[in-house]
A and B are shown apart, each in its own frame.
Chain A
Amino acid sequence: MIEYILCLLLFCIGLYCVLRRRNIIKIIVGLGIIEYAVNLFFVLLGYRHYGRAPILAKDQTITNMVDPIPQALVLTSIVIGLAVTALIVAIAIRIYEKYGTFDITKIRRLKG
């Protein structure tokens, strides 16, 4: 149970970072933390006690293995997260070019 609570705590740290910080770069870091908290939650859901990685190896029979479906899902989620992060960073660079600042409270005017 404690793992899930720590996972929620990590999510809350990311949420605080997104809502409370003013720098765009720190908001992006917060989004990354949220994403990894959710990924960790999925992997934890598939964990079984004393389970091994679901990989077939030579001359071995694995009787007790963890659930591979959440792991495959998380792999896809990591790829999508990479693409989203690249997009957000590109947008942040454009904002910096337009306004000359990363502070979201100073980005008010419609410009250009």
Chain B
Amino acid sequence: MKNREPGMTLIVKTITRLTVGLILLYGIYIVLHGHLSPGGGFAGGVIIALSFIHLMLAFGRDAALKKFSQAQASILESLGALMFLSIALLGFLGGYFFFNFFLHKGKPFELFSAGIIPLCNIAISLKVGAGLFAIFAVLVLFKKLGEKEQ
């Protein structure tokens, strides 16, 4: 070990570089098909967060935080919550909370169908994905802060 790089060995880094995009894509697929098949906002959001956590485990803390910093995570998390709330409040256009306000809802079992439910899934996935990544990042950063205090 001459110059210690952050992260794991070359094998892990190579495999991570190959798979991390596929994991992210699979998470997005789960989110977008949430109203048709098992899955949805929470499961897809967890998979999206896991792709970034995978990056952090393989390449070290700084490489992952450069791609997706904590400030960005907190902004996206807040955006998800606000988006979900605004979708729910827009239901008052039709008369009540969480009203499915799209008039043309599309055919069942097609990608563009079910009105507001895919939008809700996207909001939940933003909230869950960013929130879970933020939890992991905070647990990693915790140690650094503790060392600084002493």
A residues bordering B, Cβ < 8 Å?
53, 55, 58, 75, 79, 82, 86, 89-90, 93-94, 97
Contact = CB atoms under 8 A, between A and B. Distances in A.
A55 B42 contact: no
Contacts of B103: none
A95 to B, nearest CB: 11
B82 interface: no
A70 to B, nearest CB: 16
B143 A53 contact: no
Nearest to B40: A75
8 A-B pairs with least C-beta separation: A97-B146, A58-B109, A86-B135, A93-B142, A55-B38, A89-B139, A90-B139, A79-B42
Given A58-B109, A86-B139, A53 B146 contact: no
B38 A90 contact: no
Contacts of A75: 42
Contacts of B38: 53, 55
Interface of B: 37-38, 42, 109, 132, 135, 138-139, 142-143, 146
Nearest to B149: A97
Contacts of A93: 139, 142-143, 146
Nearest to A93: B142
A66 to B, nearest CB: 13
Given A93-B142, A94-B142, 17 more contacts: A53-B38, A55-B37, A55-B38, A58-B109, A75-B42, A79-B42, A82-B132, A86-B135, A86-B139, A89-B139, A90-B139, A90-B142, A93-B139, A93-B143, A93-B146, A94-B146, A97-B146
Contacts of B132: 82
Contacts of A90: 138-139, 142
Nearest to A75: B42
A97 B146 CA distance: 7
Contacts of B143: 93
B100 to A, nearest CB: 17
5 contacts: A53-B38, A58-B109, A86-B135, A89-B139, A90-B139
B41 to A, nearest CB: 11
Nearest to B128: A79
A58 B135 CA distance: 38
Nearest to B37: A55
B55 to A, nearest CB: 19
A86 B135 CA distance: 7
Contacts of A97: 146
